[in-house]
Amino acid sequence: MEIEVLRLGHRLPRDERISTHVALVARAFGARSITYSGQHDAGLEESVKKICETWGGPFKIKYNPDWRNLIKNFRGIKVHLTVYGEPLQNIIDNLRETPRDVLIILGGPKVPSEVYQLADFNISITLQPHSEVSALSIFLHEFFRGKELMKTFENAKVRVIPQPRGKKTLFLNNAPD
């Protein structure tokens, strides 16, 4: 079972940082990849690749403007996170048990109504407006029951050594100068 994230309608320069944060949450909380549609953004891809090189793991970022076909052709469960959907807590227990891959679709205020139809589940987290970034993190945190908090990443060049005060990082083999 693998999780992929689809970020719809990326706009430049407006979404640069939000989409970067969405991608970093996808990686840190256990998704395998993120695909974004909308405007192509080499800077976004570069930022995410740099994080992956330094912090490790097999996470990938991809661009695909044809989100409709991506959703249609996805073999697995399609979950759309939206303020208008059904409450997470009513659905997550069933979803967790799936052996199938999961596609998490993240939009914004102007998601085409077609997305609501193409998704197997439209899920809301709190029924209040907040953020794609927080919605994705809470979904993955609940999906993995918090196990993602202990996740480690292979081939990392740097690792944080947790401290009650201050910063401590360990530079591993192939560390940058």
| 173 near its own copies, judged by CB under 8 A | no
CA of residue 18 relative to chain centroid, distance: 11
Distant-in-sequence, close-in-space partners of 146: CB < 8 Å, separation ≥ 6: none
Min. distance of Cβ 66 from its own copies in angstroms? 22
| 164 near its own copies, judged by CB under 8 A | yes
Min. distance of Cβ 65 from its own copies in angstroms? 22
Residue 153 in contact with residue 31, Cβ under 8 Å?
A: no
Residue 132 in contact with residue 34, Cβ under 8 Å?
A: no
**16-28 and 132-143 helices cross at what angle (nearest 10)?**
10
Total number of residues binding its own copies (CB under 8 A)? 56
Rounded to a whole number of angstroms, the distance between the first and last alpha carbons of the chain is 37
Q: Is the dihedral of CA 63, 67, 72, 75 positive or negative?
A: positive
Min. distance of Cβ 34 from its own copies in angstroms? 13
Which CB, 6 or 136, lies closer to its own copies?
136
Binders of its own copies among 74-133, rule CB under 8 A? 82-89, 113, 116-117, 121-122, 124-131, 133
Which CB, 101 or 159, lies closer to its own copies?
159
Among candidate residues 128, 123, 137, the one with its CA nearest the CA of residue 89: 123
| 163 near its own copies, judged by CB under 8 A | yes
Where does this chain bind its own copies (CB under 8 A)?
14-15, 17-18, 21, 24-25, 27-29, 51, 55, 82-89, 113, 116-117, 121-122, 124-131, 133-134, 136-138, 141-142, 146, 148-151, 153, 159-160, 162-169
